[in-house]
Every structure is written in structure tokens, then in C-alpha cells.
Amino acid sequence: MHTVQNSQRAFEHQALPSYLQADSLGPWGNYLQQVDRVIPYLGSLARWVDTLKRPKRILVVDVPIELDNGSIAHFEGYRVQHNLSRGPGKGGIRFHQDVTLSEVMALSAWMSVKNAAVNVPYGGAKGGIRVDPKKLSRGELERLTRRYTSEIGLLIGPSKDIPAPDVNTNGQIMAWMMDTYSMNVGATTTGVVTGKPLDLGGSLGRVEATGRGVYTVGVAAAHNLGLSLNGARVAVQGFGNVGSTAAKLFEQAGAKIVSVQDHTGTICNDLGVDVDRLLQHVERYGGVRNFSESEALNDADFWGVSCDILIPAALENQITKDNAGRIKAKLVIEGANGPTTTEADDILRDNGVLVLPDVIANAGGVTVSYFEWVQDFSSFFWSEDEINSRLVKIMQDAFEAIWQVAVEYKVTLRTATFIVACKRILKAREMRGLYP
Ligand code: NAD
């Protein structure tokens, strides 16, 4: 019989391929550090942990479109399926000029963790195009979306991988994706994407779901901290779908939104801005800058604003070792994905700031996406009250379970969420076994 010498078996400890190696400053490096922190708590499942460090599939596509002036432009697009052990891939599509493969890999991995944390039956995936969509006409944006959808058509499908909106994508883009996929397969397939308009099999409550989830777990965490929302000072970075909805709900609960930052600038008002009027201003002028009922603030000073609750709801790597020490909030609720670097996380922990991590805090969006997908399959639609009450229950239950784990193991809420989620993913991985 052929025997293999131990010296020949170095592949058991193979280094990660270069494109998977941690770039310590990037989101993927941040994610790998988060996984490393959870290994001591995984018990016998730790032997499967490399599964979490390697996306299952990566698709990089060229997306050529004809511009309105007749020239041809090429954009780089991605769809990454990080892990499919617990179900089909699920995760948003981002259109942004800074999108990179490493960023999409990290976002797909956080989707695996998030979906497992709230126990919806999905794996993790994410996609994106490296483009500034604000520079495209509506026609160009539609052509870009449709070509990209065709290019990633190999991977997506209602039981394979289901995209949703993310930064700079919305219900209209989901409608174009759904239509393109449906034309390609020859059958209207509403369940291929979520976050669709209501007239196309979308779900009530989906647009506000992520912000509502941020608010729901924020209320639970504030309660555990003994922090009253009435009069609480809240600062929000990012005033798009997630940030503005969360701000509105905190305002309705009696909190004051004392500072808001977006890509156009930073504003503050010690008495609290009126969220509806700020929304109207953003709708009209494209950003929060020059909102009349506020003062302008230097962007860097946003992080030192006197507040009780800070909600990063824009992009990754915003809270870093350079600004974490300035944060005065008692509670940080991560509406954005990956807003805090690992070094900054440690600074916040040492300063007694409670961080509600992205992988639980912003899981409301995918939870209602799950409801949308279920409704599409059954062609039976629920009331908004039913959706919101189911969402709140899932978020509260997930938060309580994670809080208990954090107390039991004396770890941060981020590590606690990773413990719960990674165990679920790796347990599924182990039970399925390796095939062939
Ligand atoms: P959006 O496009 O609606 O809004 C993004 C906001 O971020 C805008 O206000 C924009 O001005 C601001 N922004 C962009 N660059 C900025 C910068 N450099 N500095 C300050 N602000 C900046 O996007 P969204 O859907 O609200 O997503 C925001 C975050 O929430 C992202 O990290 C996204 O991955 C995450 N998220 C979104 C959902 C969802 O359902 N939409 C779900 C989970 C997580």
C-alpha cells in the first residue's frame, strides 16, 4: 500500500492564497482578526475554522456598457459567496468607486456571520461594482445593472444566491436585476432578489428594516446599560437608508440627534436636528451640508462630539485607532458593516464603550429580506405589523442570547456574536461533511 510521509503532508497547514491574506488595514484583514479571536471558544469545531477564512466562490466580471455619448466603458464587478453551509447565499450589492475584491470578500463573510447570528437559513454572499453611480445617467445605470446581473447569472438564483440593496443600490436596481434574471431564465422569478418595490413582490417594512433593527437592539443595549433614551444625545454617520431610519426612530423615542455626518460634510445642533426636515434637505441637495437648522462641523471633529450613542451607518474602517480614543459615547451601534477596526475595538473596550457589532446590529435588513423571500415563494403577503413584530422578536431574542454568551465568557459582544454564529456555521459544515 502507498504510504505518505509526514514531510509530504505540508498541505495540511497550507498558507492562504495571496489574495486571501490579511491586509491589516483592510476589511478582509479586520474580519480575519475577528475570526482568530473566536477560535479558542469553538471547541472541537475549531478544526473546521479555515472554512471561515476562505470564501467558497469568487466571481470577478467585466461589465462593459455603452455610455450615452456612444463610447464604451468597462467596470469591474464581483460576486463572492463566502459560505453556503446553512443555506443559499444572501447579501447586498454595492455600487461605489472604492469597491474592491477584498472589501466584497469581507462583506460576504460578515453576511455569513450575521445570517447565522439571527439564525436565518442563509449562507453569506456579497457583490459590487467599482463605479461611482452618481456619475451615470439613469439609462447608463440601468444598462450597468442589467449587464452585471447577466454576468453573475451563473451564481445567483432564488435557491442559490439572493442579492439585495446595499450602498448606492435601491428598489429600482433590484427591479432591474429581477427583470434581467427573469428574462434570462424565461420565467418571472421574484425571489431572486430582495429589497424589491412593493409592486414586484417586495415586502412591507423592508426599506426601514435595517434601521429598525439598529434601533431595536440599541434600545435593548441601552436598557442593560441603564441609559434612558429620553433626552439621550445621538450622533449618526451616514444619513442614507440605515442612518436616517435609525435617527428617525431614536428621535421618536425622545432622543436628540445632535450631529450627522455624510459624504458631503458634518452638521451639529445641540438641541437636536429635526430628522424629517433634514431628510427633505438631503433629498433636495444630495447631502446634509448647509442644512440651515444646524452648524457646520469639521469632519474629523464628528468623532469627539458629546453624545451618549454613536451610530456609524456609512462605510467600513471609520472608527480607527486614530479617532477611537475621542469617542465620548457610552454605546456604539454599528449600522454600517465593518465600521470599526480591531485596534479601535480594543480601545473602545478599554474605555468602557459598549459596541453593538454590525453582525447583530444591522441584521434587521436581512431578516426582513428573509421574510420577503418566504412571501415570494408562497405568494402570500403579510401585514406591516406582522413583519415588524416578527423582526423585533428575532432581533431581541438574538440580542439576549448574545448578551448571555458575552457575560458567560467575559468577552465583547462582537466576540460573543462570532461565537454563536461561527458555531452554527461550522456545526452545519461538519454535519454535511465533505463531498465528494
Ligand atoms: P446608503 O447608500 O443609503 O447611504 C450611505 C450613507 O453613507 C450616505 O448618507 C452617504 O452620504 C454616507 N457616506 C458615504 N461615504 C461617506 C463618508 N466617506 N463619510 C461619511 N458618510 C459617508 O447606504 P445604506 O444602505 O444606508 O448602507 C449604509 C451602511 O449600512 C453600509 O455599511 C451597508 O453595508 C450597511 N447595511 C445596509 C443595509 C441595508 O439594508 N441597506 C443592511 C445592512 C447593512
Residues 89 and 216 in one domain: no
Distance CA 367, CA 390 (A): 9
Our mutation pick for probing the ligand 1 site, out of 105, 174, 244, 263, counting the most ligand atoms within 8 A of Cβ, is 263
Catalytic residue (one of 90, 114, 126, 248): 126
pLDDT for 404 beyond 90: yes
Distance CA 337, CA 316 (A): 6
Q: What is the mean pLDDT of residues 269-274?
A: 98
Residue at 374 is within a domain: no
Residue at 380 is within a domain: no
Q: 183 pairs with which residues across the strands?
A: none
Q: What is the mean pLDDT of residues 195-218?
A: 97
Residues 301 and 156 in one domain: no
Q: Would you give the DSSP letter of residue 340?
A: B
The pLDDT value recorded for residue 11 is 64
Q: Ligand 1 centre and the CA of 408: distance in Å?
A: 33
The pLDDT value recorded for residue 1 is 45
Residues 240 and 315 in one domain: yes
Helices within 286-412 (DSSP H only): 342-350, 358-361, 364-378, 384-409
pLDDT for 3 beyond 60: no
Distance CA 66, CA 35 (A): 42
Number of domains observed in the structure of the chain: 2
What SS3 state is found at 129?
strand
Residues 223 and 327 in one domain: yes
Per-residue pLDDT tens digits for 14-57: 677 767 776 656 899 999 999 999 999 999 999 999 999 999 99
Q: For this structure, is 393 an active site residue?
A: no
Residue at 364 is within a domain: no
Give ligand 1 pocket residues (Cβ under 6 A): 165-168, 210, 237-243, 261-263, 287, 313-315, 335-337, 362, 365
- Higher-pLDDT residue of 23 and 357 is 357
Find the CATH number of the domain harbouring 54: 3.40.50.10860
Residue at 78 is within a domain: yes
Q: Counting atoms of ligand 1 from 1, which one is nearest the CA of 243?
A: 26
Our mutation pick for probing the ligand 1 site, out of 170, 214, 241, 320, counting the most ligand atoms within 8 A of Cβ, is 241
Per-residue pLDDT tens digits for 275-302: 999 999 999 999 999 999 999 999 999 9
Which band of pLDDT confidence, cut at 50, 70 and 90, is reported for residue 12?
low
Residues 54 and 175 in one domain: yes
Residue at 280 is within a domain: yes
Residues 34 and 164 in one domain: yes
The pLDDT value recorded for residue 13 is 61
Distance CA 142, CA 136 (A): 9
What residue owns the CA closest to ligand 1's atom 33? Answer: 336
The pLDDT value recorded for residue 26 is 86
Distance CA 122, CA 115 (A): 6
Residue at 293 is within a domain: yes
Q: What is the mean pLDDT of the chain?
A: 95
Residues 219 and 182 in one domain: no
Among 352, 383, 399, the domain boundary falls at: 352
Residues 168 and 211 in one domain: no
Our mutation pick for probing the ligand 1 site, out of 98, 262, 281, counting the most ligand atoms within 8 A of Cβ, is 262
CA-to-CA separations, 433 to 13, 37, 49, in angstroms, rounded: 20, 25, 14
Q: Ligand 1 centre and the CA of 263: distance in Å?
A: 10
Residue at 321 is within a domain: yes
Find the CATH number of the domain harbouring 325: 3.40.50.720
| Residue ranges making up the domain that contains 301 | 207-352
Which residue bears the cell 461589465? 63
Residues 130 and 244 in one domain: no
Amino acid letter at 297? L
Give the contacts of 200 (CB within 8 A, at least 6 positions apart): 175, 178, 190
Whole-number percent of the chain with pLDDT over 70? 95
Q: Counting atoms of ligand 1 from 1, which one is nearest the CA of 365?
A: 40
Residues 297 and 347 in one domain: yes
Among 187, 220, 246, the domain boundary falls at: 187
Among 317, 352, 387, the domain boundary falls at: 352
Q: What is the mean pLDDT of residues 407-412?
A: 97
Residue at 329 is within a domain: yes
Residues 34 and 178 in one domain: yes
Which residue bears the cell 454535519? 431
pLDDT for 412 beyond 70: yes
Residues 77 and 131 in one domain: yes
What residue owns the CA closest to ligand 1's atom 35? Answer: 336
